[in-house]
Structure 1
Amino acid sequence: MTAPNPLAPAWLAVPRDANELSPAIWPSGASRRDGELEVAGVRASELAERYGTPVYVVDEADARARAAEIVRVFGDAFGALGARVKVYYAGKAFLSVGVARWMQELGLHLDVASDGEFAVALAAGFDPGRIGYHGNNKSTRELEAAVEAGVGTIILDSRMELENLARVARERGARQRVRIRVNSGVHASTHEFLATAREDQKFGLPVQDIPEIVETIRAEPALEFVGLHSHIGSQIFDTGGFGEAARRLLEVQRGLLEGGPVPELNLGGGFGIAYTGADDPRPIAEIAREMADIVAGECSRLGIPVPDIAIEPGRSIIGPAGVTLYEVGTIKDVRVETENGSAVRRYVSVDGGMSDNPRPELYGAEYSARIASRESDAEPALVRVAGKHCESGDIVVNAEYLPGDVRPGDLLAVPATGAYCWSLASNYNHIGRPPVVAVKNGASRILVHGETVADLLRRDADARPQEAP
């Protein structure tokens, strides 16, 4: 057994088998055939040859199964209380026309937060009445388009937006359903940038202002108040924050019921997933049962009926279904001095980086990796998978043990990249965003085309027309 490298973080254990694909991290369709990684029956080498690298790969059956499970377990948990559940897929995690269609076929609703996401939903033929429209700075043009299309619910984020939306709806003779995003003040146990309900930040309206705002909405014939909304953050592993948010909103709801109906309560999303072996997210069925118990107990204490519930999962549906494939390039060993001598960290550079996955730079996110093109019985070595960008912080995987014979030309696979990788991608260093490919039953197809250098030059107003390189 290889001894731990002193440069490795405490949570990273030396694997007994550096080829193993942990089912907690990899999509259900991931396996090895003749030593090579395949996803949903499609070999890594086939994907790399056909689409190039980097390439995002989405296991369609895995994503569909996770979405269906969330609909089922939350429906069962709250159905036992006599409440209905609406599951909104959070499009910001990853949205394409194809994925929107998967979600509609499975009976989910859809959460969008921009005119672009809304346009993708409409292009997919998604029923506008099943869409919730988020955002802290919706433009008048966005509100007009949403109302004209018959969007199901607009989530109000400010007093100014309330006034603007009321005017837009009146001018169109519409009656627009609205929720209020409440800043509950709950401090979720997650990264600072992923916490969205703390007092001093841009989202939502303070709890103490809600009764007055609801009164204003109820007095406006062009608006229909359907309930409160809470979103406390993302990549959350326990139910404590969700429970506290539910308690605070239901307390407000009790007072609001004196003036009229409050049919729904939206508890948001943010359920965490495993990116490394150190992550231990709760099973989604347990989360559903615990949230239902909390809501039931609080409603009983307050003497109010259990409302219909809405949730907004995104990462927990699409994140584990995704894998990114890279090709290994330069490899170098760097000797680092420690308190007890020195140790070697191996830098394995790949042909992507922070342009296709900025989460490690934004949040210090940790990922795992495996050689995808072959198996190896070489002793594990501590590696840091680096990107090709002009930033020292351009790290794809901060720490991982890979077979010590990793070499240029190997395909490297990084799991759990289905959420917030493509959607946060950029063209830094004029590198095109990779394609997104769905795999299912031994076949692959493009969901989103990748960008070429020629695509980037076409957007440059001073570039001369040229043949694609």
Structure 2
Amino acid sequence: MSAASQSATTAPSWLRVPDDANALVEKVWPVSASRRDDGVLLVGGFPATTLADRFGTPLWVLDEDEVRAQARRTLDAFRAAAGLHGAQARVYYAGKAFLSTEVVRWVTDEGLAVDVCTGGELAVALAAGADPARLGFHGNNKSVAELEAAVAAGVGSIVIDSPVEIERLAAIVERRGVTQSVLLRVNSGVHAETHDFLATAHEDQKFGFTLTDAPAAVARIREVGGLSLVGLHCHIGSQIFGTTGFQESASRIVELHATLLDGGALPVLNLGGGFGIAYTSADDPTPIEELAIGIADAVARECEVRGIPMPNLAFEPGRAIVGRAGITLYEVGTTKPVSLDGGETRHYVSVDGGMSDNARPALYGADYSARIASRTSDADPVLVRVVGKHCESGDIVVDAEYLPGDVAPGDLLAVPATGAYCFSLANTYNYVPRPPVVALRGGEARVIVRGETIDDLLARDAGVDHTPGKRMDMPALSERSETT
């Protein structure tokens, strides 16, 4: 069925029939993405077919140059915006978006600090050689052991998230005889225009203190001799476009900041991250320079109204640094037209990964794009749904996209903008091993996180006989699966 005959009931209102189902939407793909004369997708100068043959599929691919360039651009933008008002800015890379020792080295090389949320993320950052003084430690349920590790490592700042955490830290710093810098996470009450699961500054949720409860928490922190309160922290959500929400949140947080100054200086205001990227042709992300100026101007304006000096600013972008730099490569396994009520047809394209390597569509209905990466086609575009191989009807990779109507088993499919929250949220549902991560730079493609094998998964099963020399003979699943 041609695209023209597809009814609006199966296609979302934002999705338009493309003039060319092979064309790459520029804002969605890595800057280095293009097509070779034979139609093969190139990323960082590498043919997608070569990457798939060498490393197998599914495969996460990161353009290192793009990650580094976006890190520099973001840092420059916020430093320049803050500098217009005589303030300084620090940018923390939000490790939860994608964390590996190599990525930590890339962003710290480019001048960013790093934000971690668990003991595991802290361990990765330290293993990468990050300066502990340039680490921030988040999390709504940091254990005593995690706080002990952070203080012992000399983490630059810990973001306090609950009254219990104040007391845990108080005991730790007293026992160790040290002083630890902290910030207090505050919910501004601004409801970001994003999915409910991504909005993190409304009052009825697990993170931080309300504006009403924050003063008492600040008073308690200031009673503890070993805790040095350096500022407030607020994060309103993720995948946000525009500056309106950030500006309103800044207004409320600066008001609280001003009322607390009588008790002592608060040199830092951390306004979090959450800056959106384009996943589809319908997305229109705000340039980081515009965001930086809008937010810094809002803080400066609120401080001027209250007659107080502007604090130094801190930000925590993650997705905005790595999201666009990543793609995922899959191999098409089956295609199937499914007849729907009213005579419509939905074309299902099944790939060799799914919700194990990209959980975002299943978690909160995230939309993605896709293109055939191994060739071009003159076939009319058809509306497809790209799905995974897992035992869930919600195992959807791309809910709606137009691909050439001759998409077929064996085609290589590329999904862009998967650099953030795909590797991080990966799982082994149905005992599907997690793919490797390959970085591209300077004519070299190298594995920065090894892929798992079925043997890796069986190694954790206590019911398997792990006696040396004894192993279960597993049939080779495919030639590609063994090349990771």
| TM-score range relative to shorter protein | over 0.9
Looking at structure 2, the residues matched to 468 and 294 of structure 1 have their Cα atoms a distance apart, in angstroms, of 64
1:243-322, aligned counterparts within 5 Å? Answer: 243-322=247-326
Looking at structure 1, the residues matched to 304 and 415 of structure 2 have their Cα atoms a distance apart, in angstroms, of 46
Letter in 1 for 2:438: V
Looking at structure 2, the residues matched to 23 and 66 of structure 1 have their Cα atoms a distance apart, in angstroms, of 16
Change (3 A) 1:468 1:105: farther
Q: Which segments of structure 1 move beyond 6 Å, counting only runs of 4 or more?
A: none
Query: 1:146-204: CA deviations, max 9, x gaps?
Result: 00000000000011100110110111111000000001111111000001111111000
User: Does the alignment pair 1:189 with 2:183?
Assistant: no
Q: 1:18 aligns with which of 15, 18, 21?
A: 21
Query: 1:69-108: CA deviations, max 9, x gaps?
Result: 1100111111111111010000000000000000110110
Looking at structure 1, the residues matched to 63 and 473 of structure 2 have their Cα atoms a distance apart, in angstroms, of 31
User: Does the alignment pair 1:165 with 2:169?
Assistant: yes
Q: 2:125 aligns with which of 117, 121, 124?
A: 121
Letter in 1 for 2:444: A
Looking at structure 2, the residues matched to 349 and 142 of structure 1 have their Cα atoms a distance apart, in angstroms, of 41
Aligned to 2:53: 49
Looking at structure 2, the residues matched to 50 and 467 of structure 1 have their Cα atoms a distance apart, in angstroms, of 26
Query: 1:210-240: CA deviations, max 9, x gaps?
Result: 2222222222110101000001110011211
Q: 1:221 aligns with which of 214, 218, 225?
A: 225
Structure 1 residue 2 displacement after superposition: 4.5
User: Does the alignment pair 1:151 with 2:155?
Assistant: yes
Aligned to 1:461: 462
User: Does the alignment pair 1:85 with 2:80?
Assistant: no
TM-score by length of 1: 0.98
Looking at structure 1, the residues matched to 321 and 5 of structure 2 have their Cα atoms a distance apart, in angstroms, of 34
Conserved? CA contact 1:4–1:14, under 8 Å: no
Looking at structure 2, the residues matched to 121 and 443 of structure 1 have their Cα atoms a distance apart, in angstroms, of 24
Conserved? CA contact 1:56–1:437, under 8 Å: yes
- Once the two structures are overlaid, the 10-residue window that deviates more, 117-126 or 233-242, is 233-242
Letter in 1 for 2:20: D
Structure 2 residue matching 1:422: 3-state secondary structure:
coil
CA RMSD of aligned residues (A): 1.1
Conserved? CA contact 1:385–1:398, under 8 Å: yes
Aligned to 2:238: 234
Aligned to 1:63: 67
TM-score by length of 2: 0.95
Letter in 1 for 2:443: G
Letter in 1 for 2:14: W
- Once the two structures are overlaid, the 10-residue window that deviates more, 206-215 or 121-130, is 206-215
Structure 2 residue matching 1:329: 3-state secondary structure:
strand
Structure 1 residue 467 displacement after superposition: 5.7
- Once the two structures are overlaid, the 10-residue window that deviates more, 212-221 or 126-135, is 212-221
Q: Could you list the runs of 5+ residues in structure 1 that have no partner in the other structure?
A: none
- Once the two structures are overlaid, the 10-residue window that deviates more, 264-273 or 218-227, is 218-227
Looking at structure 1, the residues matched to 396 and 108 of structure 2 have their Cα atoms a distance apart, in angstroms, of 36
Conserved? CA contact 1:4–1:13, under 8 Å: no
The number of residue pairs the alignment matches comes to: 466
Q: Could you list the runs of 5+ residues in structure 2 that have no partner in the other structure?
A: 475-484
User: Does the alignment pair 1:366 with 2:367?
Assistant: yes
Conserved? CA contact 2:3–2:383, under 8 Å: no
Looking at structure 1, the residues matched to 464 and 372 of structure 2 have their Cα atoms a distance apart, in angstroms, of 39
Structure 2 residue matching 1:437: 3-state secondary structure:
strand
1:195-214, aligned counterparts within 5 Å? Answer: 195-214=199-218
Structure 2 residue matching 1:165: 3-state secondary structure:
helix
Structure 2 residue matching 1:208: 3-state secondary structure:
coil
